[in-house]
């Protein structure tokens, strides 16, 4: 009658099982060759990336639009005479070219910058000459600033960046 022997020479099931095994091997090879098997050795030391230090300018249609001025201890933003500034209180680096700088506002002509509060300024795509930046803001365009540094550290994270970054500014060009 019917034989359930999958290994019987010439059987349809044997050929079918060989095909399934070959596909399994092929997908396994593709899976492992497509994966990055090298470990990510990036360690966040919570220090400001020295490549960020300087003046970063965004140009719109050939005209200077706004600037971020970053020193080892301070971040200032100027958009044609309206801006804010503050001391750098904490840095979280997500990678070698992205992270968030948390400042404590100490100057402001900007409606959403509450002096004495903390805000995150996100950056990404940092290279030797360009970067994209965005100050955290709520979805309804209200201030996302926090009262304490600890609140800012837990609020302005890599995982939460999509909640507080609506538009990326730039790319900003580093000025000589």
Per-residue pLDDT tens for 6-63? 555 555 565 566 665 555 554 554 444 444 445 567 788 899 999 999 999 998 777 7
How is the chain split into domains, by residue range?
Answer: 1-38, 50-174
Q: Which two tokens stand for residue 31?
A: 């899976």
Top-level class of domain 50-174 = mainly beta
Please tell me the chain's helix, strand, coil percentages from 3-state DSSP, rounded to the nearest 5: 20, 40, 40
Is the preceding omega at residue 132 within 30 degrees of 0, hence cis? no
* C-beta of residue 91 within 8 angstroms of C-beta of residue 103: no
Q: Global pTM?
A: 0.75
């Amino acid at each position: 009658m019917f034989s359930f022997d999958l290994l019987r020479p010439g059987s349809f099931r044997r050929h079918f099982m060989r095909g399934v095994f070959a596909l399994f091997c092929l997908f396994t090879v593709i899976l492992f060759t497509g994966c990055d098997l090298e470990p990510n050795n990036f360690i966040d030391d919570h220090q400001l990336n020295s490549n960020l230090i300087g003046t970063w300018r965004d140009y719109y249609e050939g005209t200077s639009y706004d600037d971020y001025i970053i020193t080892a201890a301070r971040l200032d933003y100027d958009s044609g005479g309206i801006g804010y500034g503050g001391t750098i209180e904490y840095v979280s680096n997500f990678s070698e070219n992205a992270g968030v700088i948390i400042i404590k506002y100490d100057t402001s002509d900007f409606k959403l910058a509450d002096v004495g509060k903390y805000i995150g300024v996100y950056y990404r795509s940092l290279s030797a000459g360009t970067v994209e930046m965005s100050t955290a803001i709520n979805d309804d365009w209200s201030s996302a600033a926090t009262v304490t540094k600890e609140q800012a550290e837990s609020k302005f994270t890599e995982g939460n960046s999509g909640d507080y970054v609506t538009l990326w500014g730039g790319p900003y060009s580093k000025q000589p």
